[in-house]
Amino acid sequence: MSNKNDFDVLKTLEKMPKHKLNQHRERDVLKQLNTKMMKVERWKRWKNTTLHITTIVGAAAILFFFIYPILTEPSFDSSLSELHPLEHFDGKLTPTFHLYDEDGSLLFEDGVRGIEGKIGYRDIGDNFVAEDERTGGKMFWYVWGDPNELRGEKLVATATHVGTEESFLLNEVELSLGIYEADAHALTSFAPFPYEGIWKIDIEIGTLEYGQITIYVKSPYPQSESITYLISEEDIIVGETLSFKANINKVIGEPSLEAVLIENNTREEKHITFEHNVDFVGESMYEADVHFEKEGEWKIHLLGETTSFKVSERSYSLD
């Protein structure tokens, strides 16, 4: 951008809401299909490998295949499988720092997550949610260094899951002029994370390894065919009044909607009312305050669709 007016527009744009609107239901459908196809392909690869080994090795190998895990099974604390990823993560999440405007005022309440004085992205407060493109729909990178060398360079961010070591291209963007305190920046979107857990983001700028940011990605939003409840399952906890936002992939046109909460074990029912919040292009948002007295498996029935989710005893700190 070459003049002050454009710069002011950019600053105004940056202060707009952070979540990108999901205006095309096709994206959600494709995302669900892609997730299911990945699971099918993994199962096929496992099946083909097993059949191949069976054919070559024969009956003796099959016997060994069943006996060996029993003979070599290590001692294992079963409680570990119930631990939240943050409870057994032996590292630290990358902290946030703050940026200030020319008049010294704080720019973003949630701050910038990254390496202060080097690189970071504008934090999104509630953190990323697995499988959802909205939480990374509008992102800003801030970079410090030589402005002449940074401007026009390509930033490439690769995310790697701690535990599975699965990696994917999170973001690729060209850096632009500096803004606020930073020497370069970029307005961009992040690809959705495929599942929850600890992720390490490795950033390269040009040919240089520029830094690594470690974050936590929350579990997916509960959803049915056409409704997504914009609260991560791990934030649904006992004893607190929670805001349930129902993002519906069609315009409803009603001021309120009635829904039923069902506790799986006792079949106890609770009736709640969703009030109209806002309409988007081809979508409606409704909101209700919900309070759970019991943990466990629950269901919500709204507009003829049933969505399952789990209510937990407590949540976890992300920092």
Distance CA 31, CA 195 (A): 12
Q: How confident is the model at residue 80 (pLDDT cuts 50, 70, 90)?
A: very low
Q: At residue 259, what are phi and psi to the nearest 5 degrees? A: -135, 160
Whether the predicted model's global pTM rises above the 0.75 cut? no
Q: How confident is the model at residue 42 (pLDDT cuts 50, 70, 90)?
A: very low
At residue 60, the pLDDT reads 44
At residue 110, the pLDDT reads 81
Burial letters 200-221, b for 16+ CB under 10 A, else e: bbbbbbeeeebbbbbbbbbbbb
- Enumerate the domain spans of the chain: 1-220, 227-311
Q: How confident is the model at residue 315 (pLDDT cuts 50, 70, 90)?
A: low
Supply 100's token pair. 């200030």
Q: At residue 253, what are phi and psi to the nearest 5 degrees? A: 80, 15
Q: How confident is the model at residue 176 (pLDDT cuts 50, 70, 90)?
A: very high
Distance CA 318, CA 216 (A): 7
Above pLDDT 90, what percent of the chain?
54
Supply 222's token pair. 């509960």
Q: Report pLDDT digits (tens) over 146-163.
A: 999 999 999 999 999 998
Q: What is the dihedral sign for C-alpha 190, 191, 197, 199?
A: negative
pLDDT value at 85 more than 60: no
Contact 214, 160 (CB under 8 A): no
Q: How confident is the model at residue 46 (pLDDT cuts 50, 70, 90)?
A: very low
pLDDT value at 173 more than 60: yes
Distance CA 208, CA 147 (A): 15
Alpha-helical runs (H) found in 142-187: 147-150
Q: Report pLDDT digits (tens) over 254-296.
A: 999 999 999 999 999 999 999 999 998 899 999 999 999 889 9
Above pLDDT 70, what percent of the chain?
69
User: Amino acid identity, residue 113?
Assistant: R
Distance CA 316, CA 122 (A): 22
pLDDT value at 54 more than 50: no
| Fold classified for 227-311 | Immunoglobulin-like (2.60.40)
Lowest mean per-residue pLDDT among 36-45, 126-135, 180-189, 234-243? 36-45
Enumerate residues 6+ apart whose C-beta is below 8 A from 232. Answer: 126, 129, 218, 219, 220, 221
Supply 281's token pair. 């292009």
Contact 175, 151 (CB under 8 A): yes
Name the residue among 151, 140, 132, 128 with its Cα closest to residue 188.
Answer: 140
pLDDT value at 105 more than 70: yes
Distance CA 15, CA 59 (A): 66
